[in-house]
Each structure stands twice: as structure tokens, then as C-alpha cells.
Amino acid sequence: LLNKPTGVVTTAEDTHGRPIVTDLVPAEPRVHPVGRLDLDTEGLLLLTNDGALTHRLTHPSFGVEKEYVAHVDGTPGRGALRRLREGIELDDGPTAPASASVLSPGVVRITIREGRNRQVRRTLEAVGRRVRRLGRNRIGPLRDPQLPPGEWRELTQDEVRALERAVAAAPEPGSGTGTTPG
């Protein structure tokens, strides 16, 4: 579990010479990031060498929640929050409904179950709120408010089991059973 600082690229290689998340963790065992946080977003990021777990954590059909706190210009009103909760039409299609609430003036908590490119920023902009600062503070059952930016730690066995339970609740994509969480 890494607390990615801003200015670091979520990739294992970068042809532009920018700092990358794998520079922040030991070289062995070799790991890759699970999903992405854009260059300007900080917060929790998993790194692993387990491809099956990566798939289950990132594929939207498994519905693993990712919670963000956004500092925005102004405070979204009730109508904007309702739109976020119902889903927003973006240029690449509608988003799934999100959980959204105002924590304090200009600070919004938003929880999504998919993870399209810059999705949180784009949905907030669609309701008229420019994001000034964005951080992810939860991935599924995992939180760690004490982990400093740029620092990492290994998951505990209990955390690994909690992640496995979180992804086991949803059907495998294409299995024809259940419904896609949304």
C-alpha cells in the first residue's frame, strides 16, 4: 500500500523521465500498480505482483469502491450531488452512480465503483466544480490515514483477506450470473 504523492506517475516505466510509483518501493519483488491515479492526484494505491487480484480490483463488474476527497471551487448544491449519485453523462458515456456528500464548504467525498480516466475530476467538473486537490483515501476495505505521502507498507494478512472477500462477492465478468454492481 503506497500513499502516492502528487507529481508521481502511476506506471512501472515512463519514457519522459518523470518520477514513477515503482521508484518509491523496493525493486524486489517486482510489483505493478493496481489501477491509476493521475499525476495531480494523491492518495492510496496498491502495488502487487498478483495479476488475478489486480483484475478483480480494477474491473468495474466487481464493484470495488474507491473513495476520494476533493477540494473544489465552491460547494456543490443538492442538485449537483443528486446528479453525481445518479450518474453523469461524460464524453465517453455515462458513469455509474456514485456516493457523494459535502464534508465541509468546498470539500466533497465521492465514492465510485469504476475507474475511468480522470473520472472524479470530470464528474465534478460536469456539475460545475473545478477540483483544486484530489486524494484517494480508501480502496475497498483499505484505509491508512497515518501513511505519509511517498511512503509504503506491506498489507497485513487481515487486509489481504479483506481485499479477497471484497472481490469474491461479485461474479466473474462474463459468467452470466448476478448483475453488474453499479
- For 85, the grid coordinates are 449519485
Alpha helix segments (H runs only) across the chain: 51-58, 78-86, 119-126, 157-168
Q: Which residues, at least 6 apart from 49, have a Cβ–Cβ distance to it below 8 Å?
A: 29, 30, 31, 32
- For 99, the grid coordinates are 456516493
Of residues 63, 69, 18, the one with CA closest to residue 172 = 63
Residue numbers annotated as active site = 38
- For 74, the grid coordinates are 465552491
**CA distances to 25, 139, 177 from 136, in Å:** 19, 8, 31
